[in-house]
Structure formats: C-alpha cells, structure tokens
Structure 1
C-alpha cells in the first residue's frame, strides 16, 4: 500500500491544465467522428487504442506491476464510470455544439466538491463556496437555453457529469493505494473490454477510412496522456483545489469549436468565461493563503 501522496497544489494545477487542453482536443476529434459513425464505434476506438498504447508504453517498463491494484473492484467501477461519461458526452456531441456540451458538463466540479467533502474528508471553508458559485453563474451564461423544448442532448450531458464526478472521486481515493500507471491501465482495460462486448451490435464493415483510423489512434494517445495527467494532478492536490481550474477547458473547447466547427461565442459567452476565470483565480489564491495561515 502506498503512503499518502504529498500535497503540491501548484504542480497539481499545472497537471490539470495540461490534461484539460488534451481533453478538449479529444472531444473535438470525437465530435467529428461521431458526426459520421455510430457513437459505440467512436467510444470503442478511443478505448481500444488507449489500451494498446498503454500496454506498448508501460508494460515493458513496469512489467507485472502494471496489473497490481489493491482495490480491483473499485478500479472496475471507476473504469465503467468513465465509459459511461464518454458514451453520454459523445451522444451529446451529435446533438449540440462543442462549447455548449463542455459548459454543461461543468456541473461536475460541484458534484466532485460535494463528494470529496462528504466521502474523502476534504475541508472547504464556507466562504470559499462563493467564487465557485460565481463560476457556475458564468457557466449558465454560456449554456443558456437555445429553444423552447428540452434538448435530449442536455440529459446526456447531465448523465455524463454524474458518472464523471464519481470517476474523479474514485481516482482521488485510489491514488492513495495504487500507482498512477496502474489506474491508467485499468481505465483502458475496462473501457476496451466493455466496448468490445458492445461493438458487434454497431459495427459497419468498411465504414472507417484510413483517415478515420488515424483519428481513432489519436483518440487513444490523447486519452492516455490526458488521464495520466489528471491522475497525477489528483495525487498532487485535493479535488477541492483542482475543481475551479477545470473551467479552463471551456476556453479550449470554445477556441477549437470556432476553428473546427465555425462556432464562435457571443458576448454573453465571453463574459461568462471571464467570470469563470476570475472565480478560479480567487479560489486558487484562497487555497494558497489558507495553507500559509
């Protein structure tokens, strides 16, 4: 069993920011593929490529240690939560713009904070909820309703957010007992096995072009890199410290949505992003001052 990880908030924040940039690129490619192929095929490609890359990179270096886990049951549940997140979000991508989906997924930090305080015993001063709530108001400015009826894509995003919050809390919990590479391996393994079981019901022979296969391979590389960075971030800093910084993914998603899908945010969305960034900075400094006190 590993000793509790030392806390390095700045390092954790930097790891998280790198992970979020890669997540935004992963989402962009997934949205593109989902516009032409079934969701199950896209999710399968993402996890199977992730699994192969993880084995190729880490098995020669770590050997049998790669398979070691103190909590195999939790690793399976954690992996299934991420599969659920990926499937729900990719289904939302088929129905909604990239930036809007990303904005709506940001109910996750609130759920993570609640779960981390409740189940992991992490502390959160009452006044520090204010900038977090201000950040949520920025999310609402970006994700304001666009029509009179409820888009089913919104339901998919909310389901994905619930799965993702459980995934993040389990990542934090397992970081105390399992190595980062083992968590990365089990994420890929559970996802690959699950999607290989489901794939025959959705596979269309010869539907994937050479370009599609290359994009699918890139999904695996991006997924492996981003999740390793996130695991390292959660080992270095508490979930309550990192949660506000997850809003940075909104900036990346909006930029990529504009460049790839010609979806540029209006003034309200830009103002919402400003609120989110400012609230994240306030929380970051409050964490620094709290530790110095």
Structure 2
C-alpha cells in the first residue's frame, strides 16, 4: 500500500512535469504564431483536436458519463468560457513575450474569487478582498500601463485569465452534482467543435504554414500529456499542497523564452510577480478551500 508521503511526492513530481510540459507547449505555440505566422484560432483548433484524439480510448470507455448530468447547458457554458480563454491565451502568445504572458496568467485565482462571490454567492472576507486588490496591483506593475513599453496586446493574457476563472467557477458548481468523468468528457467532446467555429468565425480557417505544423503537433501531444499529469497530481494531493509546485511553471517559461527567443524579462516582471504570488499564497493557505480540478488547463 502506498504511504501518504509517497503520494505527496508523486503528486509534486507530476505537477512539476505538467509545468515543464506547459512551458514547452507555450514555446511551441509562440513559435507557431509569432515566428511562423500561423493564425492563433487555427493553432488552437489543431492543438486541442490532437489532444482530444489521444484521449479517444478514455472517452469511449467513459461514454455513459454523457448521460449522467442534469446540467448540459452549464457544461456547454463552461467549455465555451474555457475555449475563449484558450483562444485569448494563444492570441496573446502571438504578440506578447512569454515572460509577460505567463506572469499575467497568475491573476486567474483572483478572478475566481471575484466570480465565486458574484455568481455563487460565496462569502468573501475583507482579507480575501484585500488579497485580490494586492494581486491586481501586481498585475498592473507587470503591465506598466504608465510606460511607453505598454501595448494593448498584453491585456490578452489578462482576459484569458478572466475567462479561465469564469470556467473554473462554473466547474465548482458542476462538481457539486456531477462526477469528474462527466465534467471531463463534456470538455473533451465540446472543445473541438467550439474551436472549429472560432477558427472559421474569427480566423482564416484551418490552414497552417508548413513551418508551424510540427510545432502545433508537438503542442497537441504535450497538451494531452500535461493534462494527464495534472489529473493524476490532483488525485493524489489537494490544491493547497500543489500550488507552490504549480508556480514553478513561471521560471520554466521565463527560462525557455529567454533561451529560445531571447525574451529577457524586465525588473517590473519580478516585482509584480512577487506581489501576485504573495497574495495568491495568502488566498490558498488562509482562506481558500482545497479544490480538486478536472479541467483542461493552459499555461
């Protein structure tokens, strides 16, 4: 029988592996969009189609989970919000240095707190509102709207964080009634058609430049592997324990971005990120209840 401390060690290693996979995914996505010139809606469609295809055997084994929910509309809303978040994230990577994008996505827990208060009626204490305010200040330090370096494209990762947070709020409500298998299978089955509609609705379609094909294929494969590692990690430990390991994705992304693209972060990134992380740890360790996540994530 596996001892609890062994479970925690495995969970931590799985979270680190997932963070490394996401860092490689972001490098591949930035290379496909910013360097190879692929349209971000097209890239997103193929990335998640490949990931879903890898999950087909699991989808088939759990197909009965489709009929075990009384909230199909909420599942559609959740996946639509997540899909928009993914689209905004990849669009941001097409224009924003990876260090800035990954630092700004750390704002997501603060949007979850706001959404839980507004949509779910959860009580938010003054100290939690204070942590949210501090986190937003950290985001402003990274964005530097007062500087001539500021660009509107930098707001795309912030918007992605907000949409992912909205999807997480719906997930919290769904998991009160539905099994994790039901939540996950709806995500896998709905994400591709939604991304397909966005690829033709706001993008040029599905075509990719030849130079981007291998990068998008790698991103799709790594997305499936990263999601599997996340699911296994959260099955072994709760979110409060795993959160510090999740934040290791920041130096991984910054380091790879600097190594491959030469994107060197500014001093404001480190200061703003330190402020965000301090507020995030406060939310998790003082107020937030442990969560087990069953959602496809980016970043």
Where on the TM-score scale, by shorter chain, does this alignment land: which range?
Answer: 0.7 to 0.9
Aligned mates of 1:152, 1:272 — CA distance in 2: 18
Q: Deviations over 1:50-71 (max 9, x none)?
A: 2211213x13543433664332
Q: How much does 1:186 deviate?
A: 2.1
Equivalent-residue separation in structure 1 for 2:110 and 2:235 (angstroms)? 16
Secondary structure in 1 aligned to 2:209? coil
Size of the aligned set, in residue pairs, is: 275
Moved more, 164-173 or 61-70: 61-70
Report the counterpart of residue 169 of structure 1 in structure 2. 169
5+ residue gaps, structure 2, are 1-7, 290-299
Equivalent residues in 2 for 1:46-61 (5 A)?
Answer: 46-56=47-57, 58-61=58-61
Q: Indicate the residue corresponding to 1:263 in structure 2.
A: 263
Segments of 4+ moved more than 6 angstroms: 15-18, 240-246
- Asked whether the equivalents of residues 184 and 227 of structure 1 are also in contact (C-alpha less than 8 Å), the reply is no
Counterpart-to-counterpart distance in 2, 1:66 and 1:221:
25
Mapped partners of 2:241, 2:121: distance in 1? 14
Range that drifts further, 81-90 or 133-142: 133-142
1:33 aligned onto 2:32: yes
Q: Distance in 2 between matches of 1:127 and 1:206?
A: 48
TM-score where L is the length of structure 2: 0.72
Deviations 1:198-237 (A, max 9, x none): 546624767335xx44433332343345456379859986
More displaced stretch, 45-54 vs 66-75: 66-75
Answer yes or no: is the 8 Å Cα contact 1:175–1:235 preserved in 2. Answer: no
Change (3 A) 1:92 1:76: same
The answer to whether the 8 Å contact 2:33/2:93 transfers is: yes
Using the TM superposition, give the Cα deviation of residue 167 of structure 1 relative to its aligned residue in structure 2, in angstroms. Answer: 0.8
**How far apart are the structure 1 equivalents of 2:88 and 2:144?**
20
Q: CA deviation at 1:112?
A: 0.8
Q: Kindly provide the CA deviation profile for residues 81-106 of structure 1, in whole angstroms up to 9, marking residues without a partner as x.
A: 11111111222222211121223334
